[in-house]
Structure 1
Amino acid sequence: MFKKSVEILDTTLRDGSQGANISFTLNDKIKIALMLDELGVDYIEGGWPGSNPKDEEFFKEIKKYSLSKAKIAAFGSTKRKDLSIYDDPSLNSIIKADVDVAVLFGKSWSLHVTDVLKVSKEENLDIVYDSIAYLKSHGLKVIFDAEHFYQGFKEDPDYALSVVKAAESAGADVITLADTNGGTPPFEIYEITKKVRETLHVKIGIHAHNDIGCAVANSLMAVKAGARHVQGTINGIGERTGNADLIQIIPTLILKMNLNVLNGYQSLKKLREVSRLVYEILGIPPNPYQPYVGDNAFAHKAGVHVDAVMKVPRAYEHIDPSLVGNDRKFVISELSGTANLVSYLQKLGIIVDKKDERLRKALNKIKELEAKGYSFDVGPASAILIALKELGYYENYINLEYWKVINENSGLSIGIVKVNSQLEVAEGVGPVNAIDKALRMALQRVFPEISNVKLIDYRVILPGEIKNTESVVRVTIEFTDGKINWRTEGVSKSVIEASVMALIDGLDYYLQLKKRLKVLDNIYSM
């Protein structure tokens, strides 16, 4: 049983959109909001309706959808000093947005009150009180964000507390303490939040920025100190270095602190999917090192680690990766032991003892190639081909006898290949595309299933000077047949030759799995 509940406010669509190079279309915002509701967040801060037409349109458009749990919140500021609450555009834009929840920010740092807002401390207290009371009189639930609270508390604790007390007196339902500058360390967050918790009776929350890399830690420490409301963004996007990453906070609250958050364990399994959706919409490659959901979050490279995890997973894993919709991954590299190869081969249905001398030979070849510029943790399928050959599971389906590329002035290229005694010519956009087409045309006569294979990623890396050799290039290619993905590599002094090597390995790997091992047939029947 969970001890207590913590509510989550997602501000990806508002604070997250304020990050550099981040922009959401209206359709993007709707898509993310629906996914957040499915995840189970309590509040979705849709934007600032008084600041731009797109946000105003969002609040109209989202009403066409039935949300299962989340409440849509509109963001705005306390009233302007020279206007009455009845005439203030920010307050009235929230009311016009026709939402149930308002998120209102106001000044709690005396520096901002006197030097930025240019009002007296007493006037600011009236502004905070009147603004909240006005929205409450219209039936809204009000979450008051005390801007720069932690900075304000450290300089003038009495005044910072007087601001949040005024918000409580006005009827605020939640008072969120904001580390707006993102510069407060976790131990100070804990101490200050605890003092506020002892002073106020209303629910308090935390809104942390990541300027010193502590936004997630600060959010957790605030909860430890008594906060029961957490604000953040998916993947930590936001102003400057970003906001607190909810993808890290949510599973930690549930799995490490035993708190009731969102829809519990059911929500955790959706975290990776939600994270990927936001990355995809923004056109940003997913962070492979992101805790919990990154591709490398449960990747094991050192042979000692792999051997232990295969025996007892929790020896090197803090949770079961499936809890958060992720998978365990074993990496093959020069640092690997035979256990790494064993784990890969088991997935292919090949059971072999890790002490098998053939595995040692395969691993030695892998290490020799890595010394020459390969990086099999990026292109593991090429390493698996080496192991299959040493173990005797390999059958030679592709015999490339000759290849050549002719580049035309038009920008097109002609690829000529002789493979399995078949000569083929193809024209393509660039040399790699031309060779790829020619290879497929030749191979599909005997292996029609090759038509299912698509090239989905192509990367060229300069690994630098390799000892006792000239400079080389490393080409990594990712393939898919619509069901599984795999990556292969080629290394050469010529980028085209390296590309041909990776292409051949990619098609060869597919045929080994399809023809020799029957692995793909088993996957497709699942």
Structure 2
Amino acid sequence: MSRVKIYDTTLRDGMQAEGVSFSLQDKLLIAKRLDQLGVDYIEGGYAASNQKEKAFFEKISEIKLENSKICAFGSTRRADVKVEDDVSINAILSSGASAATIVGKCWDMHVDQVLRCSRQANLDLCADSVRYLKEKGLEVLFDAEHFFDGYKNNPEYALEVLRAAAEAGADALVLCETNGGCLPEEVYEITKTVCYDLAGTEIGIHTHNDSDCAVANSLAAVRAGAREVQGTINGIGERTGNANLCSIIPNLKFKMGHDVLSEEKLSKLTETSLFVFEIANISPVTSLPFVGESAFAHKAGLHVNALRKNKATYEHITPELVGNSRRFLVSELSGMSNVLAKLEKHGQSVDRETAKKILNKVQTLENEGYQFEAADGSFDLLIKRIKGEYTEAFELERFHISVSRDSHGDELCEATIKLSVGGDDEHVVSEGDGPVNAMDKALRKSLERFYPQLKDMHLIDYKVRVVNAKAATAAKVRVIIESRDLDSVWGTVGVSENVVNASWIALKDSIEYKLLKDNALKK
């Protein structure tokens, strides 16, 4: 089995998808999940683009990653600037990343009409940029932008660009199918030629999905000799998206026999897919191969009958290999394995009767619109409550939210909360920038006297999704709240027809989980 490296660009190329915007905390959370999945490289972002990208590289350097190397993305030096003075090159260096991915032009049309410099000058700036970063001690991956279109238009020049980068010391040359218009046989033949022409240099592949061939093109390139694949989780990306690593990785492993991720890591693939969907605030695509909720769902009676005799009759792999589960839709048999996998992940052990109770509760809540993939805090609390191992830290008697607007159009949100804490009544009022902020402040004001450790906890993100949009104004909403303290980050979830009540459920769980976690640490 030959080794194929996996390079994830969800945090840069993925964030270029329409409607997707990751906060700094989102990017850090996703990076940690990608490291747990075991990808070889995580592209952190365009180092020179904005302050959030700069802050990401600062913060990620404080986190110990077990499997992945962080890459800073940038472009080759500008044609009219010395390499040591170039903003993009210096941003890569100041990022502190040990690896750099720099994009250079390989299509002569782009050199002539976009860069508007001579073709020799383009060769020089590509070589200068690679050489300079190598001299500074970085691993350098050269993204050959528009390589396939460039090769089809002028193969000699496209190869010349690759040679210039290779001779300057590039550790890998990544062939970019930037416009997404090639078919697999074209990608195979061109990649094969490159691998022969530049034998001894690591070749990578980066494809887009404009012709719905990104995954097939990536696999074709590997078949031709490429040994690094770039893509994003769930294929999110600009226009119609990037190559989907959630399909590429299991195909490389199980269909083509390549060494990518371990089987233990691959079992986290579905969980990672759902996590990124949730953080991106995108409804999961249930029909995705391998990781979609429907990927191993069986409804036809003929299929179900055959599956009971031999699972291979209607499944091309065992779903658990990628962390998914089999579902029989007609009989409504659910996946006990899903719940047990969650329990194992959270270090929980239960008897079969308790497991059934947890399964039934999860099924009921998921039917109501709950989703626990990005809400580990709420799931831990659910288990503790069912096992009878947790006593609520406080009881709500009532809360009231008011929103007023003055003659200048300024809004004032006020939350009134009455709680019972260990037999003591707390009745407080707080103002906030919005109803959730006001409610959060009032809750803290009520509880910090009893639980001073709550001062270390902060709400860092808040997401709302309509669960059943067809119900219009009567639709339920799901609220995901992310919280953090000095040493960890957790998510909680609430569902209701009323967005304020859904927010209360998620907010209450975030407080309860903090207290549960701290109590466990004390023990």
Query: In which range does the TM-score fall when normalised by the shorter chain?
Result: 0.5 to 0.7
Structure 1 partner of 2:293? 295
Structure 1 partner of 2:19? 21
Shift of 1:346: 12
Work out whether residues 327 and 335 of structure 2, in 8 Å CA contact, stay in contact via their aligned partners in 1: no
Shift of 1:459: 3.2
Residue 307, structure 1, aligned to residue 327, structure 2 = no
Give the 5 Å matches for 1:171-190: 171-190=169-188
Report SS of the residue matched to 1:239: coil
CA deviations on 1:84-128 (whole Å, 9 max, x unpaired) are: 111111111111111110000000000000111001111111111
Structure 1 partner of 2:263? 265
Question: What is the alpha-carbon distance in structure 1 between the residues aligned to residue 215 and residue 336 of structure 2?
Answer: 37
TM-score by length of 2: 0.65
Aligned pair in 2 of structure 1 residues 345, 41: CA closer, same or farther (>3 Å)?
closer
One-letter amino acid of the structure 2 residue matched with residue 158 of structure 1 = E
One-letter amino acid of the structure 1 residue matched with residue 201 of structure 2 = V
Report SS of the residue matched to 2:316: coil
Question: What is the alpha-carbon distance in structure 2 between the residues aligned to residue 117 and residue 303 of structure 1?
Answer: 60
One-letter amino acid of the structure 2 residue matched with residue 258 of structure 1 = G
Report SS of the residue matched to 1:104: strand
Question: What is the alpha-carbon distance in structure 1 between the residues aligned to residue 477 and residue 10 of structure 2?
Answer: 33
Shift of 1:344: 7.1
Question: What is the alpha-carbon distance in structure 2 between the residues aligned to residue 290 and residue 258 of structure 1?
Answer: 22
Structure 1 partner of 2:128? 130
Structure 2 partner of 1:81? 79
Aligned pair in 2 of structure 1 residues 460, 223: CA closer, same or farther (>3 Å)?
closer
CA deviations on 1:448-476 (whole Å, 9 max, x unpaired) are: xxxxxxxx9863759xxxxxxxxxxx999
Report SS of the residue matched to 1:317: coil
Report SS of the residue matched to 2:317: coil
Question: What is the alpha-carbon distance in structure 2 between the residues aligned to residue 232 and residue 302 of structure 1?
Answer: 34
Report SS of the residue matched to 1:86: helix
Question: What is the alpha-carbon distance in structure 2 between the residues aligned to residue 173 and residue 234 of structure 1?
Answer: 24
Select 1:156's aligned residue among 154, 157, 167: 154
Work out whether residues 108 and 152 of structure 1, in 8 Å CA contact, stay in contact via their aligned partners in 2: yes
Structure 1 partner of 2:207? 208
One-letter amino acid of the structure 2 residue matched with residue 111 of structure 1 = M
Question: What is the alpha-carbon distance in structure 2 between the residues aligned to residue 167 and residue 64 of structure 1?
Answer: 32
Report SS of the residue matched to 2:468: strand
One-letter amino acid of the structure 2 residue matched with residue 280 of structure 1 = E
Aligned pair in 2 of structure 1 residues 344, 244: CA closer, same or farther (>3 Å)?
closer
TM-score by length of 1: 0.64
Shift of 1:19: 1.0
Question: What is the alpha-carbon distance in structure 2 between the residues aligned to residue 460 and residue 56 of structure 1?
Answer: 38
Structure 1 partner of 2:278? 280
| Number of residue-to-residue matches in the alignment | 358
Structure 2 partner of 1:52? 50
Following TM superposition, where does structure 1 have runs of at least 4 consecutive aligned residues deviating by more than 2 angstroms? 343-347, 456-462, 474-478
Shift of 1:177: 0.1
Question: What is the alpha-carbon distance in structure 2 between the residues aligned to residue 109 and residue 458 of structure 1?
Answer: 45
Structure 2 partner of 1:229? 228
Aligned pair in 2 of structure 1 residues 71, 327: CA closer, same or farther (>3 Å)?
same
Residue 459, structure 1, aligned to residue 468, structure 2 = yes
Question: What is the alpha-carbon distance in structure 2 between the residues aligned to residue 57 and residue 36 of structure 1?
Answer: 19
One-letter amino acid of the structure 2 residue matched with residue 208 of structure 1 = T
- Structure with larger Rg: 1
Work out whether residues 379 and 476 of structure 1, in 8 Å CA contact, stay in contact via their aligned partners in 2: no
Root-mean-square deviation (Å):
2.9
Structure 1 partner of 2:248? 249
One-letter amino acid of the structure 2 residue matched with residue 69 of structure 1 = N
Shift of 1:267: 1.4
CA deviations on 1:49-89 (whole Å, 9 max, x unpaired) are: 11111001111111111111211100000000100111111
Work out whether residues 7 and 228 of structure 1, in 8 Å CA contact, stay in contact via their aligned partners in 2: yes
Question: What is the alpha-carbon distance in structure 2 between the residues aligned to residue 458 and residue 247 of structure 1?
Answer: 24
One-letter amino acid of the structure 1 residue matched with residue 163 of structure 2 = K
Work out whether residues 46 and 72 of structure 2, in 8 Å CA contact, stay in contact via their aligned partners in 1: yes
CA deviations on 1:333-357 (whole Å, 9 max, x unpaired) are: xxxxxxx47x67999xxxxxxxxxx
Question: What is the alpha-carbon distance in structure 1 between the residues aligned to residue 88 and residue 470 of structure 2?
Answer: 51
Question: What is the alpha-carbon distance in structure 1 between the residues aligned to residue 185 and residue 133 of structure 2?
Answer: 35
Report SS of the residue matched to 1:144: strand
Aligned pair in 2 of structure 1 residues 52, 331: CA closer, same or farther (>3 Å)?
same
Structure 2 partner of 1:65? 63
Work out whether residues 292 and 324 of structure 1, in 8 Å CA contact, stay in contact via their aligned partners in 2: yes
Question: What is the alpha-carbon distance in structure 1 between the residues aligned to residue 334 and residue 64 of structure 2?
Answer: 45
Identity in percent: 52
Residue 115, structure 1, aligned to residue 113, structure 2 = yes
One-letter amino acid of the structure 2 residue matched with residue 282 of structure 1 = A
Work out whether residues 78 and 127 of structure 1, in 8 Å CA contact, stay in contact via their aligned partners in 2: yes
Question: What is the alpha-carbon distance in structure 1 between the residues aligned to residue 54 and residue 476 of structure 2?
Answer: 45
Work out whether residues 326 and 335 of structure 2, in 8 Å CA contact, stay in contact via their aligned partners in 1: no
CA deviations on 1:125-164 (whole Å, 9 max, x unpaired) are: 1111111001011001000000000000001001000000
Aligned pair in 2 of structure 1 residues 53, 331: CA closer, same or farther (>3 Å)?
same
One-letter amino acid of the structure 2 residue matched with residue 63 of structure 1 = S
